[in-house]
Amino acid sequence: METTTLNIDIKEEQKKALEEIKKQGLRVLVCCGTGCMANGAMSVIEKFKELGANVSVLSDYDKVTIVPTGCHGFCEQGVLVLIPDFHTVYVKVHAEDVEEIYESHIKNGKPVERLLYTDPKTNEKIQKSENINFYAKQTRTALGNCGHINAECLDEAISARGYEALAQVLKENNPDAVIAEIEKSGLRGRGGGGFPTGRKWKFTAANRGGKSYVVCNGDEGDPGAFMDRSVMEGDPHKLLEGIAIAAFAIGADEAYIYVRAEYPLAIKRLRKAIKDAEERHFLGEKIMGSNFNLEIHIKEGAGAFVCGEETALIASIEGERGMPRPKPPFPANKGLFGRPTLINNVETLANVPVIILKGAEWFSSMGTETSKGTKTFALTGEVNNTGLIEVPMGTTLREIIFDIGGGIRGGKKFKAVQIGGPSGGCLTEEYLDIPMDYDNLIKAGAMVGSGGLVVMAEDTCIVEVARFFMNFTQNESCGKCVPCREGTKNMLKILEKIVAGNGEMEDLEILEELAHTVKDGSLCGLGKTAPNPVLSTLKYFKDEYISHIRDKKCPAGVCTAMKTVKIIPELCKGCTKCLRNCPVEAIEGTVKQPHKIIQEKCIKCEACVKGCPFKAIVLE
């Protein structure tokens, strides 16, 4: 196959872009990820800009440029401000701190100690991000540029080697070689399924010749998951480049990015990125002077979780109700508008340019035997450092929770971790040291899924957790197949009955059988995985279910239904405040005599507990 001569020299463009960036002087990066935005990133930027007008800077720089970036991942500590040239990261920055950073550090070279990160274990102040455990243990590939470039600036993307991989594959003009490289890298689908990406490309490419599509799945729906969002918001050009490489490899000239409408910032930035890239001929017709054309559309999803399922997503793009379709036929043969379609998740595609640039071998040198490269996780729950992380496959849960995550909040004891979102499973202490990869997690009864990690401490009620996830999947079931629609509803009813203190022992049997049937019998991935939280908690925490049912006790002390309001007679002074405050007249007693709760009437609203001046009333 002949190589193509391109009319854009990407190396030249990179040089120009770097020069442009140099002109910015001292770059101060302010994280504008969703978490930091909520913490006031915009007012931090405003303040910087306000000061920037009449401030003199250190002699090496003729000016300061404030760069709004995508998510740094360390959301717990937002707003984050990075000054790369000073090797400094500031945490929990507010608008009122900006002046001090300016005066002390930018003008006089003296770091602001109080805004540096404090290690929770050593209480040490840490200036450099690479010395912070949260960052030190990570390897960022898909998120490589997130937080380091201005997501809305094409030149910044180019300076960070954006579109270099695309230029390379267009020049080499060998689509099969691209697929071979991806296959060799061992990249597997990051959206949850873990299907080998190269093989998926090969299947779709087998139908080259007619119209075919690339669809990028950005319908990130797991509660608490925001890795795809971070890529789309923080480095949209990398995603576009990944899509373009995929389209070139399989012979498509049209692509869709399906983004939830709840991600307006991602949509805005992707739209701008597409427009900018088209103007510079990185997308659109005759890309960089080659014969390759690609039109990318944004399709806003209406927020149905099930639309993350690829066939439901296709139906949704087609304008139909988002309901999964049976497979086969697989999208690779008959997908969007009946044409061969390659569907990859955002994170999967964001890995592609890096693999092309650094080579399959580099990528596959990370990870385990069956799972290569890195994986992003959204670390939430009872850990000290919540946020977005990217680690090599094979990293253990212990490293993630205790090193990167900084351990359990408030010195509490670890109880379990829910991996893979509502479709994943709950794992216990004994699994903390297994290398996390697709296959090990499946074996343990969980899944990588899209990468949600919810850490739970000793005071979490595991039955309540199962109920929470079941409520989510039940609400998000599309309602098409009976096991998922009716089965999850009845599983939820049983769980509700148990946490309400009305469970019976035979409910456990029915719950377990139904869970297996829903898993075996459902039409799509949502139903097939919805019982996982129940099955894994039944496996590891059955005694907790039994305490709820037989002893009517919630061991974690969470389920209100199992608790009673009590007045401690020794502490009660008989002031009658509680009696007057009770909305249901469930308290009796006379002045200066200890009062009593009428349990049959009590609705456990805790008005008495909160109002008692002598702390004589407790809910336990």
Partner 1 sequence: MTDKKTLFIDGLEVEFTNEPNLLEVIKKAGMSVPTLCYRPDLTQFGACRMCVVEVEGRGIQSSCTMPPENGLKIHLNTEKTRRIRKTVLELLLANHDKECLTCEKSGSCELQKYSEEYGVRKIRYPEKKKEEFFPIDNYNPSIVRDPNKCILCGACVRACSEFQGHSVLGFVNRGSNTRVEPMNGKHLSQVDCVFCGQCQTVCPTGALTIKSAIDEVWDKINDNTKKVVIQIAPAVRVALGEEFNIDAGENSIGKIYAAARRIGFDLVFDTNFSADLTIMEEANEFIERLSKGGVLPLFTSCCPAWVRYLETQHPDMLKHLSSCKSPQGMLSPVVKEFLPKYYEGYKKEDIVVVSVMPCTAKKYEAVREQLLGETDFVLTTKEFARMIKMAGINFKALKEEKANSPFGQYSGAATIFGASGGVAEAAVRTAYNMVTGEELSNVDIKTMRGVDADSRTKDTVVDIKGTKVKVRVVSTLKEAEKSLKEIKSGTSDFQILEVMACPGGCVNGGGQPISCSDSSIKEKRAEGLYKEDENLELRKSHQNPDIKKLYAECLEGKPGSHTAHKLLHTTYTDKFTNSYKDLK
Q: Shortest approach of partner 1 to residue 311 CB, angstroms?
A: 10
Nearer to partner 1, 475 or 590 (CB): 475
Helix (H) or strand (E) holding 301: strand 295-301
Nearer to partner 1, 47 or 519 (CB): 519
CA angle 372, 376, 377 (to 5 degrees): 125
Which H, E and C letters describe 501-561, residue by residue?
CCCCHHHHHHHHHHHHHHHHHCCCHHHHHCCHHHHHHHHHCHHHHHHHHHHCCCCCCCCHH
Nearer to partner 1, 359 or 521 (CB): 521
Q: Shortest approach of partner 1 to residue 322 CB, angstroms?
A: 9
Sign of the CA dihedral running 363, 368, 371, 377: negative
Q: Shortest approach of partner 1 to residue 418 CB, angstroms?
A: 21
Q: Shortest approach of partner 1 to residue 493 CB, angstroms?
A: 6
Q: Shortest approach of partner 1 to residue 494 CB, angstroms?
A: 9
Both tokens assigned to 361? 């071998």
Rounded distance between C-alpha atoms, residue 26 and residue 62, angstroms: 8
Q: Shortest approach of partner 1 to residue 46 CB, angstroms?
A: 41
List the one residue out of 451, 373, 342, 343 whose CA is nearest residue 184. Answer: 373
Nearer to partner 1, 30 or 478 (CB): 478
Nearer to partner 1, 361 or 520 (CB): 520
CA angle 210, 213, 218 (to 5 degrees): 175
In DSSP terms, which residues pair with 26 in a beta bridge?
A: 64
Which segments of 383-487 does DSSP mark as H helices, in order? 397-398, 438-444, 462-476, 482
The set of residues, in sequence order, having a beta carbon less than 8 Å from that of 571 and lying 6+ positions away, is 614, 615, 616
Nearer to partner 1, 281 or 497 (CB): 497
Rounded distance between C-alpha atoms, residue 444 and residue 425, angstroms: 8
Q: Shortest approach of partner 1 to residue 531 CB, angstroms?
A: 12
Contact between 237 and 277 under an 8 Å Cβ cutoff? The reply is yes
Nearer to partner 1, 261 or 357 (CB): 261
Nearer to partner 1, 379 or 524 (CB): 524
How many residues are listed for the chain in this entry? 620
SS3 158: helix
Rounded distance between C-alpha atoms, residue 368 and residue 375, angstroms: 12
Q: Shortest approach of partner 1 to residue 483 CB, angstroms?
A: 6
Nearer to partner 1, 166 or 312 (CB): 312
Q: Shortest approach of partner 1 to residue 301 CB, angstroms?
A: 14
Both tokens assigned to 601? 């009437």
Contact between 456 and 416 under an 8 Å Cβ cutoff? The reply is yes
Q: Shortest approach of partner 1 to residue 328 CB, angstroms?
A: 6
Could you tell me how far CA 275 lies from the centroid of its own chain? 27
Q: Which amino acid is it at 92?
A: K
Q: Shortest approach of partner 1 to residue 326 CB, angstroms?
A: 4
Nearer to partner 1, 48 or 305 (CB): 305
Q: Shortest approach of partner 1 to residue 479 CB, angstroms?
A: 3
Q: Shortest approach of partner 1 to residue 422 CB, angstroms?
A: 13
Peptide bond between residue 609 and the one before it cis (omega within 30 degrees of 0): no
Nearer to partner 1, 287 or 336 (CB): 336
| Residues in contact with partner 1 by the rule CB under 8 A | 304, 306, 321, 323, 325-326, 328, 474-483, 485-490, 493, 510, 513-514, 516-517, 520-523
Nearer to partner 1, 387 or 487 (CB): 487
Nearer to partner 1, 357 or 482 (CB): 482
Q: Shortest approach of partner 1 to residue 366 CB, angstroms?
A: 32
CA dihedral 302, 305, 311, 316 (to 10 degrees): -10
Contact between 553 and 461 under an 8 Å Cβ cutoff? The reply is no
Which segments of 325-377 does DSSP mark as H helices, in order? 346-358, 360-364
SS3 86: helix
Range 494-533 burial, b when 16+ CB lie within 10 A, else e: bbebbbebebeeebbeebbebbeebbeebbbbbbbbbbbb
The 8-class DSSP code of residue 401 comes to: I
Rounded distance between C-alpha atoms, residue 603 and residue 620, angstroms: 14
List the one residue out of 161, 137, 164, 156 whose CA is nearest residue 70. Answer: 156
Q: Which amino acid is it at 208?
A: R
Nearer to partner 1, 21 or 323 (CB): 323
Contact between 288 and 298 under an 8 Å Cβ cutoff? The reply is no
Nearer to partner 1, 506 or 570 (CB): 506
Q: Shortest approach of partner 1 to residue 309 CB, angstroms?
A: 13
